[in-house]
Amino acid sequence: MGDQDFVKSSEAQIAVHWQEEDKFYPSASFIAQANMTDAEIYKRFGLENFPECYKEYADLLTWDKYWHTTLDTSDAPSWKWFVGGKINASFNCIDRHLPLHKNKAAIIWVPEPEDEPHVVITFQELYVRVNEYASLLQDFVGLKTGDRVTIHMPMVPELPITMLACARLGVIHSVVFGGFSGKACGERIADSGSRVLITMDGYYRNGKLLDHQEKTKLAVDAAEENGQKVDKVLVWKRYRDQNSSEVAMVKDRDFYVNDLLPEYTGKRVAPVPMPAEAPLFLMYTSGTTGNPKGCQHSTGGYLAYAAGTSKFVQDIHPEDVYWCMADIGWITGHSYIVYGPLVLAATSVMYEGVPGFPDPGRAWRIAEQLDVNIFHTAPTTVRMLRKAGPDEPQKYNYHFKHMTTVGEPIEPEVWKWYYNVVGKGEAVIVDTYWQTETGGFLCSTMPALQAMKPGSAGPGVPGIHPVIYDEDENEVEAGSGIAGNICIRNPWPGAFQTIWGDRERYVKTYYEKYNKDPKSKDWRDWPYFTGDAAVLAEDGYFRILGRVDDVINVAGHRLGTKELESACLVVPEIAEAAVVPVADEIKGKVPDIYVALKPGIKPSKKIEEAIISEIETSIGKIARPKHVYIVPDMPKTRSGKIMRRVLASISNRGDIGDVTTLANPEIVDNILKMVQGN
Ligand code: WTA
């Protein structure tokens, strides 16, 4: 493609150059058993039926007091859903299932060491444990409705037990990803105003029993530096009869939960009926600038949205074995490991460790053993598993009916491996686009109703009405090949209510850009600004290009980094690719490309040339990279996201900043030497 073939776009617009992908269709057997096979759902959830349509989701729940007003906009843009209603999340995830499902597995926990037995917790057992722990939190810790508690725990069943015990009391939980440092945890403790920290002594990761409790001191110190005293630390034990940490307990502050619990044997706590709009939890998320933002999620609206999307997009039935490989420390784990599946009485599988430990077959062995039929993970994990063991899935006898991808754009090449090899060509895939802030899915195909298109999330899910605006607030037309800011026209029950303690920042970050009138109480004047760039195809499918700031402006042409990365992955030897902008005197910015190869493949000039040629063919000469670096691995966060910021600093010879929190900080020096030769 020559430069002259570019889609014409103004400075406010981004032209994209995706090739249309072929569509894939759900199988007849999937459709036959699906929860949602009625295309009328899009009509029922059309804007003309907004907001009343969401009654359908609210009615998946059991209310202590039924609500009277679907949506109250009087405090716009902080939306109140199902006003007048009272509900308890713990009751909805546990108690109400007891008559039919008490003896069914709620949680199956798979420890990382393969010789440790799985732990199966039935709904009855979950009921007992949550009650006893809630009773402890109430009596021993003195927690009450509206208090905040910070939970810094790994992937163990005690984590959802703790969350559900908090929810039972109307205590607001703030789960901090276990892999985060003590300092990061402490800052979040302070921001949320928690006086209680709940943690664990240790956990397994990559074959090592990590001392997690050593982060406590740093967390408590950082909280205090930021003005919040922590007066109790509750420590769960990884092994009941043994300490997994060297850290000494601080007298009168630190307590082992397992020592206290026997006193609460047999205790029951009545679930507190909470107003629908009472906060259920906070989940911190990072923006490009500033402190992490505590996204405040409601009880009734959030739970209704988690239930509806789990039922219809995840297609979860009570008899399914559902495994989401995310960490509960992220929003995906909250909505689609804990609240969504449990509210539907499904069996939710939790895995403690690294998917590729001790070998790339591990995930598929777990799937085979537990007969998992719904599988949910992120593109970064799919790429990692594909790189480490491209032929592993076929060695195991499992059958997925449904698979999800979430969290970042998935390159069509990777999607096809997921479909053909992991899914064995039998499973339907949903590419779910959403955010911490949104509580649940924004865009995805409905699995039995629409075809899949590799690399595209799909249309807005029922009740979500996305729109693409350019910088000048014009709507970008479907099929124009122009990308812009994807926004949502309407509120929905899963949307967060505010940033904890900072309403001004909430309004400014998510609503100011396209708001028509700051005084308006009409939701139509408040499109939600996601901060992502996307392009809308003729068929109504959205393709997400990544954060708005992830664009590279080459000689006035704004190129999406994802688009370039996707092209690299067409080259068969490439396992992972990251593209970063590097300053160029003439063109402003040009892309630098970092790639990691599939196992057993040696770097060569030929591979570099193949990448350049692929980029020139699929995007154009203008996107020609300045350099192609074949690296042994990508610098990654603990949650597996490639740290493009670090690579960009290396390319631009800038300050790399703190890399100690990365999963693999040692790789940074390695790449530095390769790029800068020092
Ligand atoms: C990106 C994770 C493309 C997007 C649930 C969003 C995606 C950010 C997708 C939110 C997807 C999420 N395709 N991009 N299917 N899903 N993203 O808050 O940039 O951890 O804004 O929530 O991830 O990340 P967060």
Q: How far is the CA of 530 from the centre of ligand 1 (A)?
A: 10
Q: Which atom of ligand 1 is nearest to the CA of 285?
A: 18
Kind and range of the H or E run holding 184:
helix 182-192
Is 408 a pocket residue for ligand 1 (Cβ < 6 Å)?
yes
CA-nearest residue for atom 13, ligand 1, is: 409
The residue contributing the CA closest to ligand 1 atom 12 is 407
Question: Is there an atom of ligand 1 within 6 Å of 456 CB?
Answer: no
Tell me: pLDDT of 661 over 90. Answer: no
Sign of CA dihedral 191, 177, 650, 573: negative
Band of pLDDT at residue 180, cut at 50, 70 and 90: confident
pLDDT of residue 2: 36
Name the helix (H) or strand (E) containing 664. none
Relative to the CA of 437, which ligand 1 atom is closest?
Answer: 18
- The pLDDT assigned to 3 comes to 39
Helix (H/G/I), strand (E/B), else coil: 191: helix
Instruction: Report the atom number in ligand 1 closest to the C-alpha of 530.
Output: 21
Give the Å distance between the CA of 355 and the centre of ligand 1.
21
Whether 546 is in the pocket of ligand 1, judged by its Cβ within 6 Å, is yes
The tokens for 440 are 């649940």
- The CA distance from 425 to 665, in Å, is 37
pLDDT tens profile 260-291: 999 999 999 999 999 999 999 999 986 544 57
Reply yes or no: is the peptide bond before residue 262 cis, omega within 30 of 0.
no
Ligand 1 contact via 484 beta carbon (within 6 Å): no
Question: Residue 504: how many CB atoms within 10 A of its CB?
Answer: 10
Backbone dihedral angles phi then psi of residue 452, each to the nearest 5 degrees: -90, 145
Q: Report the mean per-residue pLDDT for the chain.
A: 93
What is the rounded CA–CA span in Å between residue 387 and residue 379?
12
Quote the ligand 1 centre to 247 CA distance (angstroms): 37
Tokens of 74: 């009087």
pLDDT, average across residues 96-107: 98
Question: Which of 377, 532, 563 to mutate to test ligand 1, by most ligand atoms within 8 A of the CB atom?
Answer: 532
Torsion (CA) 319, 320, 326, 327 in degrees, nearest 10: 20
Helices (H), 40-142: 41-44, 55-58, 89-93, 98-101, 123-139
> What's the pLDDT score for residue 7?
57
What's the pLDDT tens digit per position in 592-644? 999 999 999 999 999 999 999 998 887 777 788 999 999 999 999 887 888 88
Q: What is the pLDDT of residue 549?
A: 64
Does any ligand 1 atom lie closer than 6 A to the CB of residue 431? yes
Residue 406 CA to ligand 1 centre (angstroms): 7
Q: Is the CB of 285 under 6 A from ligand 1?
A: yes
Listed in sequence order, the residues at least 6 apart from 252 whose beta carbon sits closer than 8 Å to its beta carbon are none
* Ligand 1 atom closest to residue 531's alpha carbon, by position in its atom list: 21
Q: Which of 568, 483, 573, 576 is nearest to 530 (CA)?
A: 483
- 5 — pLDDT class (breaks 50, 70, 90): very low
pLDDT, residue 218, reads 92
Query: From the CB of 445, is ligand 1 less than 6 Å away?
Result: no
pLDDT band at residue 550 under the 50/70/90 scheme: low
Q: Which two tokens stand for residue 161?
A: 């037990």
Q: What is the mean pLDDT of residues 400-423?
A: 94
Tell me: the pLDDT tens digits for 204-253? 999 999 999 999 999 999 999 999 999 999 999 999 999 999 999 999 99
Is it the case that residue 310 has pLDDT exceeding 60?
Answer: yes
Q: Which residues, in sequence order, are bridge partners of residue 553?
A: 558
Element (H, E) at 554: strand 551-554
Q: Residue 594 pairs with which residues in a beta bridge? A: 578, 629
407 within ligand 1 shell (Cβ under 6 A): yes
**pLDDT higher than threshold 80 for residue 586:** no
Element (DSSP H or E) covering residue 383: helix 379-388
* Cα distance between residue 432 and residue 312, in whole Å: 12
Average pLDDT over residues 47-56: 98
Model pLDDT for residues 427-465, shown as the tens digit of each residue: 999 999 999 999 999 999 999 999 999 999 999 999 999
CB of 487 closer than 8 Å to CB of 530: yes
pLDDT at residue number 288: 45
Averaged over 526-542, what is the pLDDT? 95
Tokens of 547: 């954060």
Q: What is the residue with the minimal CA distance to atom 10 of ligand 1? A: 435
Residue nearest to atom 3 of ligand 1 (CA): 409
